[in-house]
Each structure stands twice: as C-alpha cells, then as structure tokens.
Structure 1
C-alpha cells in the first residue's frame, strides 16, 4: 500500500470523526446514564451485533473501568435466557449502523416486555430507522462512507462508534467526578495500575503540602 493510499484512508476516517453531528442528545444520554446507574443503582447494558457488538464490548469495559457498572449483552444470547441479566433501573445502549438490525429490534421488544419503561439510547447511522424511532435518545454517527473499497466492511462506521462511546465515557466521568483514586481501585495490575497508584500518591502529597 502506498503512502498516498494510507494518507487517504487516514483523512477519510479523520473527517468522519470531525463530522459526527454534535447535538444535545449527548447530554441527554449522559443524564440517563448518571440517573439510572449512579442515582438509581442500575447498570448500563450495551448490545450490538457483529462488528458493532465488538465496539459495544469495548465501550462496556471502558465504562466499567471508569466507575460506571456496565455489561455487554449479546442480542442473540438474550433470546436464550441471557436477557435475565436485565434488572429494574438498568438502561440500554444499543449500537447499530443501519438502525434496522433484526436482533436489536427484537431485543428492544423483549427488554420492554420485562421492564416497559427501560430507557434506550441508540447509536445509529440512520435517524429515520426503526431503532432511532424507538429510542429515548439517539446519537447519529453521520453515516460516513466506509473506507473499505467495497463500501461494505464496517471500518469508518466502527471508528466513529468508538469515538462516540469515548464521548459518553468521558462525559460521564466528569459528571460523577471520577478521581484518580477511584481509578486506582479498579486497576490493580499492569502499567495502568502502576501509573494510577503513583499518580494517587502524588495527589496525596500535594494535598499535604497545602
């Protein structure tokens, strides 16, 4: 692959990120996450099929590591008993580029069969889709063209979804005043564990000096 081809891919993905629509829906989504997880003591249940589901798993673990309890629920496994993980005061974050993913639509119906008022946040590339209309809050990706030469393989769309998940995570961290001390409690091993504990020690030392 040539330098120019790589640069083209990087520019297309960068532009897709910069063109994510910025709306008040992000604040509404964060409001719901804070209300249901941090005030009502529920959890954030994230779901998606295929590549979108893999992005959802990453977002879920990032939320967990930053103080917001979350799990990933596979939409197909939900139909075989895993839906039982859903409890009162939980909320759903559903990720689907088309907004028409059959398994996700079915998950909504099943979830609302258990808890009629379960709040639903949807990340989608289609604001007129079935799932966008069913959502309490929907976040539009901007529906960027994939950098895949066939315009089929989820590439740019999953990049954008990842960034949108980061926005929700960072926004929630700020709202709950998530500290380095709390981060250190959740990271006991590896580089991040060492880094967070060392940072915590420095913060304590600075506080003593004051």
Structure 2
C-alpha cells in the first residue's frame, strides 16, 4: 500500500467518523420539537413544501422525494424561483419545511415572509436556535453543533448529513404513523428494482391456463399441455379445485404405457401453489426451493380454483429473480 493510498484511506475514515459522531449527536438532541414537526405535517391537508438554497436545496430535493414516495405529498420549491412567482405554489393548505444550516440565508426571506403572511405552518431546520429562520418558525429543529468533516468548517458535510438523516427520520415517522404498506409503496415505485421486488404474483401470472378435468385420457392431456407451452398441466376436480399437476418429470416417470393412463394416474397430487396477492419474490423462493419452474395460482378464499400460472421466466423478465 503506497503512502498516498494510506493518506486517502485515513482521510476517508476521518470524514466518516466525524459524520457518524454528528449523527449520534443529532439522535441524542431530538426532543419534543421533532414530535411537533410530525404532528404539524400530519395536520396539513395539503403538501409539504420543502425549500433550501445551495447544498441545503440539494438535500431538500432528496427529502421531498422520500416524503412523496412514502405517502406524504411533497414538492420542492426553489427559494430564488419562489421570489419570482413560484410562491403561488405554496397554499394555506400546505406546510413549509425550510432548510438552512446558518438560518440566515437571504434567499429564504420571501418564502419565510409568505408563510407568515398567509399563516402557513413553518418548520425550520438550522444549526442556530436564534437564527432568523428558527425564530420565525412555528416548529424549530436545531441541528447540534457538530464540526464539519472537512476539518476547516467551511465545506457542508456533517451538517448536510444530519439534515438528510433528519428528513429521513421525519419521513419514516410519518410513514409508520400512517401504516404505509409495501403495496402502497409500490404504487409510487412501479419501475426499477424496487418495483420488481414489490410486484405481486397477480401482476405477472398468466390467466389462460393449461387445465383439464379429472379423468381426461393422457392422449388428450398431452395435446392441451403442448398447446399452452408451459411444460405443466393442471388437473381439476368436479368442483373446479386444482387436484394435481403434471410436469415433464411426471411424464418421464410414466413413459412406459403413458397413453394408456388417465391424468389421475400420472399427476402429482396436492401440488405446491401460491396466492395471487403474494409477492413475486415469494414465488421465486418457492420455485427455487422446490426446484420447479412454475406455480399454479389458486383462489385464496378456500375454493382451491386455479386463477393463474406464474413461470420462473416471467419473474426473470420482470427483474424479480
């Protein structure tokens, strides 16, 4: 390891240690004002309007996205643009969450004044309790006096990390209070890996099914099995309940005199199935554990009727597996 590499690693560890300490200080400093901020947002009938300048603005955009994706409608309003007409986006139904490390950022003056003029609840986040922002705020969230990780106190590092973590804490507290479910989360995350992980079996299953009734001769069953192309066949009873499945493995095991049998003699009874509202990830786990490539989806209300079929390839295409 070269001396420069050693220096770089030492710097990285020092920065991370400083920010870790800042987060510990933040956690210990939280009190009634944090609960008041959550209550203020819960009472609002509109959105959380997040605003901040510079690095605080960048953090504010991320907080906005986290709030919006976890059940709290939110919108970022740039303070400079707010002074040129975007204040019209901030209504009496909203609550403002304004971020500034110093609490004296001049570009925030107009949005602060707007909240005071129209009696819009204002939650301020800053490091100085006596700053203009926190003195004007209905709820003041004071960041602890943690040193910036840059070592000279001029680069926003520890302060932005604390602000980001505080925004995450607000979002999760609101989410848990609202009992925000994974299903609701997926509504706002239909794409990407998150959307795939939260996909339900019903989102991916086929509804045109390879089914034959009990007692069907294997000659007819093979035609149906070949036409559907899933490599599996379901066998239903008189009441429509899925009684068994026939796979390629079942065919090989009964190859001798196969066409002289009925489906009841060849099928595997009491097959493994899954409910339509189960996560597709669960279906993949079952298929992997049982070393199978497809699962019939059955009625969860107890009728046992086959509603669909999910194949491992469907999960792969959707990015689940």
Aligned to 2:173: 171
Query: Aligned match of 1:125 in 124, 127, 130?
Result: 127
In the alignment, structure 1 residue 95 sits paired with structure 2 residue 116: no
Aligned to 2:241: none
- Structure 1: how far apart are the matches of 2:171 and 2:55? 20
Following superposition, the deviation at residue 61 of structure 1 comes to 0.7
Aligned to 1:180: 182
Equivalences, count: 201
Following superposition, the deviation at residue 173 of structure 1 comes to 0.2
Q: Specify which structure has the higher proportion of strand.
A: 2
Query: Aligned match of 2:12 in 1, 6, 30?
Result: 6
- Do the aligned partners of 1:97 and 1:143 also contact (CA within 8 Å) in 2? no
- Structure 2: how far apart are the matches of 1:209 and 1:26? 44
- Structure 1: how far apart are the matches of 2:109 and 2:301? 56
- Structure 2: how far apart are the matches of 1:31 and 1:2? 44
Question: Per the alignment, in what secondary structure is the counterpart of residue 278 of structure 2?
Answer: helix
- Structure 2: how far apart are the matches of 1:94 and 1:143? 19
Mapping for residues 122-161 of structure 1, pairs under 5 Å: 122-161=124-163
Q: Specify which structure has the higher proportion of helix.
A: 1
Structure with the bigger RCO (C-alpha within 8 Å, sep 6+) is 1
5+ residue gaps in structure 1? none
- Structure 2: how far apart are the matches of 1:62 and 1:157? 19
- Do the aligned partners of 2:15 and 2:150 also contact (CA within 8 Å) in 1? no
Aligned to 2:59: 55
Aligned to 1:73: 77
TM-score, structure 2 normalization: 0.59
- Do the aligned partners of 2:91 and 2:120 also contact (CA within 8 Å) in 1? no
In the alignment, structure 1 residue 86 sits paired with structure 2 residue 90: yes
- Structure 1: how far apart are the matches of 2:11 and 2:115? 44
Following superposition, the deviation at residue 135 of structure 1 comes to 0.7
Larger Rg: 2
- Structure 1: how far apart are the matches of 2:171 and 2:164? 11
In the alignment, structure 1 residue 16 sits paired with structure 2 residue 22: yes
Question: Per the alignment, in what secondary structure is the counterpart of residue 2 of structure 1?
Answer: helix
- Do the aligned partners of 2:102 and 2:131 also contact (CA within 8 Å) in 1? yes
State the Cα RMSD in Å: 2.0
Aligned to 1:33: 41
- Structure 2: how far apart are the matches of 1:45 and 1:118? 10
5+ residue gaps in structure 2? 1-6, 202-276, 283-299, 303-321
CA displacement 1:8-53 (0-9 Å, x = unmatched)? 21111100000011111111111011110xxx2x110000000001
